Structure 1
Amino acid sequence: MNKNETVPVKNYTTMNVNESLIQSTFVNNKISLSEYGNYTAIAIGEKTAMITFIIRPQRKPFAPKDVRVTCEIHSANVIWTSNLNGGSTQNFSIKYKSLNDRNYQEYKKVALDQGKGHKMNVTVDNLMQASEYVFVVIARNNFGATDSTEMPNCTTGYIQTSVQKPNIGGIIGGTVGGIFCIILVLIFIAINRKYQINCVVSERNPNLR
């Protein structure tokens, strides 16, 4: 501590310095339960600067916020906003399930925290097409894990299989060809019948032997 600084006292501390530029750090590694709460630091000189902050005990992370999801055919893009890390470095993962499943499965990819209020996203792939899924974002640090309270859902798309249209031209052509063949057969029969000679013996002459 510099000679011009006063000894910090509980609840209110004043530090007087005679330097034009100084960076001061106050560290307290042992904070009792009663000392957690809101604090305000004020720097007074030619200008006054003030900062307010909160000291909380370390804990598991706060729940991720603003969770949204959009689905493609075999994947879903999950978007959320990171929250306070609970005083320990946090990371994020996604768990999901289809409406036909009883249990969630956790996606293999992990997203690292980039600070409170940062927009983050993870794409979950290998999903079944034309299926509805529910998604949950998990924030995790050394003190535990917290699920998002928002659990959005979406339905994956599907690939429409092409349907064979009937070949109208082929059907008409085949029908006309069949009719034409039938007509030719009928004409052929008619011609043969025209030149056919029918011999009928009505009475036998007994003198002819």
Structure 2
Amino acid sequence: MTACNVSQGHPPFIILQGIPGMEDKHKWISVPFSSLYFITILGNRTILFIISTERSLHKPMFLLLCMLALTDLGMSTTTIPKVLSIFWFGQSEISYEGCLVQLFFIHSISAMQSVVRMTMAFDRYVAICEPLRYATILSNSRIGLIGLMSLVRAVLFILPMPILLQQMPFHANHVIPTTYCEHMAVVKMVCVDTTVSQMYGLDISAISSSYMLIV
């Protein structure tokens, strides 16, 4: 087992390995990544522009589509630029603080996406099964409140992750064999008991699975 940086607390930077065993193919792999990123940015910005400018689309389902587009933009912008910098320029280092920030945004945006998808499923259920009560059950103001609550919930639920990790010492080996910082990958580098952090990650996975089953 590698030694702990107890005196240092945490490393100044973390190395994102990219795709292990395919380092020589990173530039080729970057082509579909960059293409999908461009399509994602263009498609979601187009959705946001059309819905925001067309007043007839200011309805609950389209407002939910706007929320989903925003979370999709947030998720892709949080991860893909760093992925491309690894593939194109070999810039595999990320500061420890930057890693925690990326971790926070990845998981908080994922939590928001799960709420939006669940609400979209509920929206379709009401539209099909309770069409006469649709306008009273799901109004624009109620959708806005759901969006605000999903944001607050995601921040309050995910914020303890980086805070807990900030207090822990790390192994001397600080390499993550992926292209981005996610919670369990960072937890594996900690050299103290991580039961609380691991249970926290498993709890999030269980909640996400439950939302997918609901959808």
Whichever structure has more strand as a proportion of its residues is 1
| Rg (Cα) greater in structure | 1
Whichever structure has more helix as a proportion of its residues is 2
Whether TM-score is above 0.5 comes out as no
Could you tell me the TM-score, scaled by structure 2's length?
0.21
Higher RCO (CA 8 Å, separation ≥ 6 residues): 2
Could you tell me the TM-score, scaled by structure 1's length?
0.21
